[in-house]
Structures are given as C-alpha cells and as structure tokens.
Amino acid sequence: MRAGFRIKINCKVLIFKTNLAFLTLHVYLIPSDPALQQIIKSKELSSGYKMIKKPNPQKSLKMGKYFTFKANMDSAEITPEGMYEEELARLRPELVRNMSRELINQLLDDLLMDGVLNDGEKDSVLQENDTRADRARCLIDMVKRKGRAASRKIICHIQSRDPTLSADLGLHV
C-alpha cells in the first residue's frame, strides 16, 4: 500500500545562451516563483548570457518524466513526450490533405525498417485503400494506435522526408 498524493507543480522554463559563435545553453526548470525567476535572470544576464524567449510548454511538465527540448540560436521549444500522439491527431486533417503518394510510400518503408510496422500492416495500407487520402488516414491512425514512440518516429520521418510540408504545418517534435 502506498500513502501519499500527487502534487502538480507548474514550472517555468528559463533558457539563457552565450553571445559567442558556439551555442552554450543554461536551462532552468523552476517553480512559478517570480522572485526566483528574477534572481536567476539577474545572475545570467550579469554573466553575459542572453535570455531566449520561448512559448510555455504546451502541457505540464511532470517530475520524473521526459520532454523534448529543441533550440537554435534564436528560439527554443519544449514538448512533453506525451504530445506526439496529440500532435499527430491535431495535424491529421492537414496531413491527409497534403501527404503525397510518394511520401506515404516512403513513410511506410521507413516505419517498416524501424519495426513500427510489419509487412502485413504495410500491405494493408496499400491494398485496402484506393485513394491517397485513405492511405494517409489509415497510416496515421495505425501509427497513433501504436503509441508515443511510433508517433514520434512518423513525425521525425515526415520532417526529414518533407521539410516543406513539416514547416507549413508547424510540425513539432
């Protein structure tokens, strides 16, 4: 028997970078305490670091859980790992409209190589769906049912196979 209860703490994420050619980041996950935020901000700014403005996480960050942190010289993005399925669901209508036959075939091959799909699943997407849109729907739904890791993989493959579509949709990983 376990005693206790969960405490949800909403955290702020503060990110600072150097003004040098190479990228060095200081990333802080802290409670929503304005005084603590000000102390950290003052310390970093006085040490010559510049704050990177970024949106708050799309979902609560929880203790002991993983999240994806993506940054470049000007911006940063934080995505809790559970967001991959939600991102795929959110973008499903646009992906169905915009994925080409070639992209669908490439994704099927990629996911087969990753072990996300087996030969039977790949064949069912191709043989049981006559239109490009139906194949896209079937593939997305099949991958979503397989969970977070599979959803993350298809998103990564879409980003690498079709960066233009990925950018147009604001696809996050």
Give tens-digit pLDDT for 41-92.
888 888 888 887 766 665 666 655 656 666 665 665 655 555 677 788 888 9
CA distances 14 to 8, 30, 51, 70, 81, Å, are: 19, 8, 8, 13, 19
Residue 141 pLDDT greater than 70, yes or no: yes
CATH homologous superfamily for 83-169?
Death Domain, Fas (1.10.533.10)
Are 19 and 51 in contact by the 8 Å Cβ rule? The answer is no
Q: What pTM did the predictor assign?
A: 0.57
What pLDDT does 101 receive? 96
What pLDDT does 68 receive? 63
What pLDDT does 45 receive? 86
Higher pLDDT, 114 or 89: 114
Higher pLDDT, 101 or 36: 101
Domains of the chain, residue spans:
11-57, 83-169
pLDDT digits (tens, 9 = 90+) for 90-113: 889 999 999 999 999 999 999 999
What pLDDT does 130 receive? 94
Residue 31 pLDDT greater than 90, yes or no: no
Higher pLDDT, 1 or 72: 72
What pLDDT does 82 receive? 56
SS3 82: coil
The alpha carbon dihedral of 43, 49, 54, 58 has a sign of negative
What pLDDT does 134 receive? 97
Higher pLDDT, 146 or 77: 146
What pLDDT does 136 receive? 97
